């Protein structure tokens, strides 16, 4: 065990863990004040439930010995009781295996939490908990095995994905789409005004996400080396360029530049750089971020035409941004940054990598959408996925959690 590498992985794990409360704030600020606790609670639930499921089984399904064909890991790591000094296929990694599993746990948590951005304001709390519990095992773990474990079939084919363009971003985007289609739009959407109740809360969330994302991408080198430094730098560059791209879109098409747009652009840039962070040069990171900012700004405006109430744009930002990142990785990847990577089309590597990336996009989107749709349908048909109309009107904070986010005080209502 290399202690510096382990320290880097542990630090990155802490940063990724911190992203989930950051996401809770980012999302919480965007909903109406009657639903802010409910959506934050979804993130808290992910922090608790996914942790337990990861330790119990999902971590092992992802990183245990391959059961065959690169399709799934076995239960050798279940309970994290007996951890080999290096995980299957990761013998080149000198960070402690346990630290790697801890770090990867944080990815599963935030990916599950992302789904709440689509389902907010109407999903039953208990159903959300069941949804993400099943989904972590049935959707997340297989995808993580395919891509993040070197023994997985996509990784084995040569698919590159530095920190989760597929497993985290495309997966969350298309999984959310599936749940949203089963759930239906919010009552009153899009006619009623559903403005963010606290944009500063969302900007704070963005700040935490940005901070954490440096570890999210940086830590994926699983070692403190030049690749890690590049990954951190590229994340910063793509966030900046994404922010600028989104604002350019707004200014040129709609004559204003919003703070929520800036925040969303920063996220879009970081989403897109996620698969690329340790494989591309700084100039490419700027291009990738800029394109993602522009494209995701456009994408989130299309849901109104499609009539899909993906409330906080998980598909538009994470799904679309993830696809963009994977495609552009096929163009910009270069071994000069990471010898363990590959050269993309524009780096003289031909179409091989691009083909692999496209395959991974299609596979991830289809698998995530399909299986999640089945899970959502099953829950919907049994215990129900959605609160009653009356409860939705009153707000989920009161009706799901018996709480008000903000209260004045006296008589439970007036400041005294």
**Among the candidate windows 170-178, 229-237, 312-320, 371-379, which touches a copy of itself by CB under 8 A?**
229-237
Pair 354, 330: CB distance under 8 Å? yes
Beta bridge partners of 66: 73
Q: Please identify which residue in 272, 290, 297, 375 interacts with other proteins, judged by CB under 8 A.
A: 297
Give the pair of three-digit tokens for residue 43.
């993130």
**Binding of residue 413 to other proteins (CB under 8 A):** yes
Among residues 91, 253, 259, 382, the one that binds a copy of itself under rule CB under 8 A: 259
Q: How far apart are CA 374 and CA 138, in angstroms?
A: 11
Tokens representing residue 244 in the block: 């600028």
CA distance 30 to 205: 10
* Residue 13 or 154 having the CB closest to a copy of itself: 13
Interaction with other proteins in 392-411: which residues (CB under 8 A)?
Answer: 393-394, 398, 402-404, 407-408, 410-411
Pairwise CA distance, residues 236 & 214, whole Å: 7
Which of the 8 DSSP states describes residue 345?
G
Tell me the per-residue interface mask from 267 to 306 with a copy of itself, x by CB under 8 A, - otherwise. --------------xxx--x--------------------
Task: Please give the residues from 103 up to 142 whose contact with a copy of itself meets the rule CB under 8 A.
Answer: 105, 125
Q: What's the closest the beta carbon of residue 360 comes to a copy of itself, in angstroms?
A: 29
- Hunting for tokens 């709480």 — which residue is that? 403
Tokens standing for 364? 């991830």
Q: Residues 162-201 vs other proteins: string with x where CB under 8 A?
A: ----------------------------x-xxxxx-----
CB 80 within 8 A of CB 57: no
Closest Cα to residue 363, out of 331, 330, 328, 326?
A: 326
Of 76 and 258, CB closest to a copy of itself: 258
| Subset of residues 6 to 65 that bind a copy of itself, contact rule: CB under 8 A | 6-8, 10-11, 13-15, 17-18, 20-22, 24-25, 28, 32-34, 36-38, 40-41, 44-45, 47-49, 51-52, 55
352 binds, among a copy of itself, other proteins, none (CB under 5 to 8 A by kind): none
d(CA 123, CA 296): 25
410 backbone dihedrals φ, ψ, rounded to 5° = -45, 140
Minimum separation from the CB atom of position 205 to a copy of itself (A): 9
In DSSP notation, 35-82 reads SHHHHHHHHHHIIIIIHHHIIIIIHHHHHS-B-STTS-B-STTGGG-S
CB of 229 to a copy of itself, least distance (A): 5
Q: How far apart are CA 167 and CA 59, in angstroms?
A: 14
Q: How far is CA 404 from its chain centroid?
A: 28
Q: What is the DSSP letter of 139?
A: I
Residue 134 burial (CB count, 10 A): 18
Distance CA 364, CA 382 (A): 27
> Minimum CB separation from a copy of itself for residue 147, in Å?
23
Question: Rounded to the nearest whole angstrom, what is the least distance from the CB of residue 41 to other proteins in the complex?
Answer: 14
Question: Residue with structure tokens 């599936």?
Answer: 178
Residues 182-211 that bind a copy of itself (CB under 8 A): 192-201, 203-204, 206-208, 210-211
Q: Which of 80, 233, 260, 345 binds other proteins (CB under 8 A)?
A: 260
Q: Segment 303-342, which members bind other proteins (CB under 8 A)?
A: 304, 313
Q: Which is nearer to other proteins, 252 or 416 (CB)?
A: 416
Which chain residues interact with other proteins by CB under 8 A?
30, 190, 192-196, 250, 254, 256, 258, 260-261, 264, 297, 300-301, 304, 313, 393-394, 398, 402-404, 407-408, 410-416
């Amino acid at each position: 065990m290399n202690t510096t590498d382990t320290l880097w992985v542990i630090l990155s794990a802490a940063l990724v863990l911190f992203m989930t409360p950051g996401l809770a704030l980012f999302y919480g600020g965007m909903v109406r004040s009657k639903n802010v606790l409910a959506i934050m609670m979804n993130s808290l639930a992910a922090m608790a439930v996914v942790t337990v499921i990861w330790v119990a089984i999902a971590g092992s399904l992802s990183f245990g010995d391959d059961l065959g064909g690169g399709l799934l890991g076995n239960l050798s790591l279940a309970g994290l009781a007996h951890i080999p000094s290096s995980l299957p296929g990761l013998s080149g990694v000198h960070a402690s295996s346990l630290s790697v599993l801890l770090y990867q746990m944080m990815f599963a948590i935030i990916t599950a939490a992302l789904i709440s951005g689509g389902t907010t304001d109407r999903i039953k709390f208990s159903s959300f908990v069941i949804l993400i519990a099943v989904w972590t095992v049935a959707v997340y773990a297989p995808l993580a095995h395919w891509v993040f474990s070197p023994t997985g079939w996509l990784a084995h084919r040569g698919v590159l994905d530095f920190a989760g363009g597929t497993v985290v971003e495309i997966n969350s985007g298309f999984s959310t789409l599936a749940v949203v289609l089963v759930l239906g739009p919010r009552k009153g959407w899009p006619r009623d005004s559903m403005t963010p109740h606290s944009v500063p809360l969302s900007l704070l969330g963005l700040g935490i996400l940005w901070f954490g994302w440096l570890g999210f991408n940086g830590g994926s080198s699983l070692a403190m080396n030049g690749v890690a430094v590049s990954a951190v730098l590229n994340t910063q560059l793509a966030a900046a360029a994404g922010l600028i791209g989104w604002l350019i879109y707004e200014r040129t098409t709609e004559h204003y530049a919003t703070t929520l747009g800036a925040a969303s652009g920063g996220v879009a840039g970081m989403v897109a750089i996620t698969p690329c962070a340790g494989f591309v040069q700084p100039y490419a990171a700027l291009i990738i971020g800029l394109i993602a900012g522009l494209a995701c700004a456009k994408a989130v405006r299309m849901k109104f035409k499609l009539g899909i109430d993906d409330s906080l744009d998980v598909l538009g930002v994470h799904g679309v941004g993830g696809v963009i990142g994977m495609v552009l990785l096929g163009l910009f990847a270069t071994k000069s940054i990471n010898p363990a990577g590959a050269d993309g089309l524009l780096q003289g590597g031909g179409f091989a990598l691009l083909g692999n990336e496209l395959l991974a996009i299609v596979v991830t989107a289809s698998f995530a959408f399909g299986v999640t749709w089945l899970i959502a349908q099953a829950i919907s048909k049994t215990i129900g996925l959605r609160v009653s109309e009356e409860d939705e009107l009153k707000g989920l904070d009161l009706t799901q959690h018996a709480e008000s986010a903000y209260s004045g005080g006296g008589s439970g209502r007036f400041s005294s």
